[in-house]
Amino acid sequence: MNNYTKKFDLILAIPLLLYIAVIIGLILSAVVKITPETILSVFNNSAIWNSAVRSFVTSIISSLLAILVAVPAGYILSRKRFFMSDFFDSVIDLPIVMPPLVIGLCILLFFSSTDIGRFLDRGLVQWIAELTGQKTNSSGLFIFNVGGIIAVQFVVGCAFAVRVIKSGFDELNSQFEDVAMTLGATPLKTFLKVSLPNTMPAVIAAAVITWARIFGLFGPIQLLCGTMRFKTEILPTTIYLEYSIGNLNGALVVGVFMILTSIITLTIFKKIGGKTL
C-alpha cells in the first residue's frame, strides 16, 4: 500500500471518525451527569419500575405478534407472485417511512371514529360481559389503555419484521424447497422442515430488531394512550414525565438505561443474524 492510498483512506475515514465522535460525545454528555444518588432515587421510585415492567412486557408481546404475522407474510412476498403483490410489498413499507405521529393519529381515528374500531375498543368488552353475565366498568381496550400500546408497537414493528424475514427467504435458494416437494413433502412440511429452519437466523434477527425499534416508541403511544402513571406509562414517557417536572437527572438515568439496552440489543442482532441479511 503506497502513501497515496494511505492518504486517500485517511481522508475517507475522517467523516466516519467525526460522526462516531459525535455519537460517543452525546452519550457521554448524559452519562457524566448521573450521580449515585440519582440512580438510587430512580431505583426507589415504584412508578419507574412499573413503567419499566410495562415497557418490556408490551414490547415483547408486540414483537411476538409481529413475528407471527411476519413469517408467513415474508414467505409469501418472497416466494409467490400474485395480483398486486408489488403493491402489497410497498404498503408493508409504509409504517417504516411514515412519521410515527401520523401512525398514532391514524390508529386513534380508527378506534374513535369507525364502527369496527369503536366495537374493538369498547363494544367487544361489553359484548363479552353480556354473554357471560358479568358487569364491567372497562373504559375500553386501546384508547388510553395498555392495549393501545401493544397496537401501536405492533403496527410499527411488524413492517420491520416482514422486511427482515423476507430478506432471509430471498437469500434461501428455492431449489431446496423444490427438491423436498419432488421427494413427496407437502408444502406445509417443506415450509416447516426446510424453509423455516434455514431462515431461522433471519427470524431471530427480525425479533430482536423489531423489539429494539418499538421499545423506544414515544410519539404515537403518547397520542393514543396518554401518559398515566401505573396505567399507560412506559420508559420513553417516563423520560418525558421526569423532564417535565424538572427531574432532569432522573430522566437521564432512564435514558442511559435505554441506551445500554439498545447497545445490548444491537450486539445480539449482529451476533445472531446481522451478518446474514
Tens digit of pLDDT for each residue in 34-92?
888 888 888 888 888 999 999 999 999 999 999 999 999 999 998 888 888 888 888 89
Q: Where are the domains of the chain?
A: 34-276
- The predicted pLDDT at position 205 comes to 87
pTM: 0.85
> Given this structure, which CATH class describes domain 34-276?
mainly alpha
Q: State the virtual CA torsion across 146, 149, 151, 153 in degrees, nearest 10.
A: -150
The single residue listed with the C-alpha cell 418499538 is 214
Q: At what angle do helices 200-215 and 248-272 cross, to 10 degrees?
A: 170
30: number of Cβ within 10 Å: 14
Q: In the predicted model, what is the mean pLDDT of the chain?
A: 86
